[in-house]
Amino acid sequence: MTNMTTVIAQGTFDLLHPGHVHYLTDAAERGDELHVIIARRGNVTHKAKPILPDRQRRDMVAALDCVDEAHLGHPEDIFVPIEEIQPDVIMLGYDQHHDADGIREALASRGIDCAVERASAREPKYEGELLSTGRIVDRILEERGE
């Protein structure tokens, strides 16, 4: 019997861009199965609320080849999907605001034994490539705003 390594990545994933694809590809390469938890709009408090609806963001992430399953986060407790999936690794985005040590402590307090790692950085590959939803929104407003 082979041991499969299950990885969780998580985020808002509003307006998918190459930075998201890099993060999820990096996460998928750390294991055999990648589950992605998409933050519900009501739970996003550290930045502007997503533009796109929860389900659309989930469906777009699920369409990526590197993703095995995409889930909407729990409305009240972000750790519920992690308890259900029981991952071996939680992969944080390179520039996500999360405190890895704080997450490790919260996982340990719930009896969840898994590694917490951070994805590698991705630099723009050509002039003008946008690697953040905020920059995409800014460009839209510059180019098409009234």
Binding-site positions read 12-13, 17-20, 95
Give the max Cα distance, the chain. Answer: 61
Strand order in the sheet with 69-72: 69-72, 33-38, 6-11, 89-92, 115-118
Per-residue exposure over 29-60, b if at least 16 CB sit within 10 Å of its own CB, e if not? ebbebbbbbbbbbebeeeeeebebebeebbeb
CA angle 97, 103, 106 (to 5 degrees): 145
Feature table: binding site for ATP:
12-13, 17-20, 95
